[in-house]
Amino acid sequence: MTKWTTAKIPDQSARTAIVTGANTGLGLETAKALAVRGAHVVLAVRNVTKGEAAAEWISRSVPDADLELQRLDLGSLASVREAAEEIRTKHERIDLLINNAGVMTPPKETTADGFELQFGTNHLGHFAFTGLLLDRLLPVAGSRVVTVSSIGHRFSRGIRFEDLQWERSYNRLQAYGQSKLANLLFTYELQRRLIGQHTTALAAHPGGSDTELARHLPGPVQRAVPLLRPLFQEAAMGALPTLRAATDPAALGGQYYGPDGLGEQKGYPKLVTSNERSYDLELQRRLWKVSEELTGVAFPVLQDARA
Residues labelled as active-site residues: 176
Beta-sheet strands, E only, within the chain: 16-20, 40-45, 66-71, 96-99, 144-148, 200-204, 256-259, 269-271
Between the alpha carbon of residue 206 and those of residues 32, 46, 185, the distances in Å are: 16, 21, 18
> C-alpha 61: how far from its chain's center?
25
CA atoms within 13 A on the CB side of 187: 33
Interaxial angle between packed helices 126-137 and 281-295, expressed in degrees from 0 to 180 and rounded to the nearest 10? 90
- In whole angstroms, what is the distance from residue 51 CA to residue 223 CA? 29
Q: CA-CA distance, 243 to 10, in Å (whole number)? A: 11
